[in-house]
Structure 1
């Protein structure tokens, strides 16, 4: 059953229009980053490394989470999840959808990273997005895809889930200025700190933030799976 569910989800992931749509949207962070580059930046661009990384990864996380949330909510609303449960007769379909959302989120984050990397090199003559930032983007995109899938499984309303998943992550950016000590307790804030992205100055707290980020993900998955088992799948 697990292999069958994995094969079905893999086929769905790379044939559904949502992945192409969010890859197209991944151009927007690159455009914003390039448009915000100041004139006369030195070739090293060292002073811009931190802000550019934060901007890119935050937007990549929001896009990846939006992808996971929308595709999952649509699958519930269209009855796809319910039909999978009837055919597979296990929770394999749910968990494979989580895995495919993580994979799709990583692909969306990869697209955002690639567009931004090419954009700043061509228009800003900067080389600020290296292998470490690529690894962070992939990990953050996968985690955000899982987070979005969990929110989508809870909300199940395609029109409402996108603003809700954005609201669940975006407070980290506001609180990083107003209440920086609270950032580590938030889903996106803890994830960024775990990946050593300088959203705030938090030396020595990286491993603590890793634990907080995992607790958020595990909690969201457990709650969404509990609702998956208790609530009707077909309506």
Structure 2
């Protein structure tokens, strides 16, 4: 399972990721009793929806039971496996939302450049681009843990090659691992630690452990600054 920094929960298997749109499709099939009705309800192509169900079933197993003809004209319903996946998806999303809301990194800094609502803030860890209130210089920058993406140094995007304008090299300090999610503390400066929220699968894939070198990236639009006198 993996989670994107834009809070799009995904369940992954065999190279296929079941995401929010797939959850909506399966839920609509359960509600309306057919794939055709579900596609209409979601304003999607029936052919595309059918192909997507086939892709998901190749990875996760049977998800939709189909019947043809009969007095009711046939229809579709979800298998127990599909309902199990939906329950897991919803549980992970709820868990992620609750933890992400509480997990933040706050760094003090000084605004050195402005471009509309975005500003460049000089901090002990380096320069951070963030959404910043006007007419303030001394600010506190808040970085949500779910907004931080971790990469191996050899796989990290080049500076300027992604919409994630903020990029910091660092070293993993600790990994606090739960059943599905993990809080990872990354030292990006001797006095600054950045917290990232990732899935347990990502911990394994990136071999995250104390001492592991990583590159942290996060979008300016997901980063907020407030004046240190409390003004927003």
TM-score category (smaller protein): under 0.3
More helix by share: 1
More strand by share: 2
TM-score, with length taken from structure 1: 0.25
Structure number with higher relative contact order (C-alpha < 8 Å, ≥ 6 residues apart): 1
Q: Highest Rg: 1 or 2?
A: 2
